[in-house]
């Protein structure tokens, strides 16, 4: 709807913004999912594993497709909770 009602430059800027926003969202989702699945990101251990004397036990389900849906649901719930206006 934006492209048909605005100029070419405005439409290009809107498309770039939408693309960057979607990319950022996917990166955050993947990062949180990777941390919950392995406790590490880019092979850097973020959460200390139970087998190494820490407290974190990796969740294998987070590395599967269902993990993406669970992570998305948790992140959406967290955003809704954080942005909810006080009544």
- pLDDT, tens digit (0-9, with 9 covering 90-100), for 26-75: 999 999 999 999 999 999 999 988 888 889 899 999 999 999 999 999 99
pLDDT of residue 33: 94
Spatial CB neighbours of 41, under 8 Å, sequence gap ≥ 6: 31, 34, 35
Q: How many residues does the chain have?
A: 87
Tokens of 44: 């850097």
How many structural domains does the chain have? 1
Assess whether pLDDT exceeds 70 at residue 76.
Answer: yes
Rg (CA), the chain: 18
Torsion of CA 68, 37, 84, 13, to 10 degrees: -60
Q: What is the structure's pLDDT at 86?
A: 63
Q: What is the pLDDT of residue 31?
A: 94
pTM of the model: 0.79
- Domain holding 60, by residue range, is 2-83
Distance between CA atoms of 38 and 6, rounded to whole angstroms?
46
pLDDT of 23? 98
């Amino acid at each position: 709807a934006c492209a048909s009602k605005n100029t070419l430059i405005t439409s290009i800027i809107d498309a770039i913004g939408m693309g960057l926003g979607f990319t950022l969202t996917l990166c955050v989702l993947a990062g949180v999912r990777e941390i919950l699945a392995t406790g590490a990101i880019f092979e850097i251990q973020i959460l200390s594993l139970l087998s190494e004397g820490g407290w974190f036990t990796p969740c294998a389900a987070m590395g599967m497709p269902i993990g993406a849906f669970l992570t998305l649901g948790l992140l959406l719930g967290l955003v809704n909770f954080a942005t909810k206006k006080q009544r």
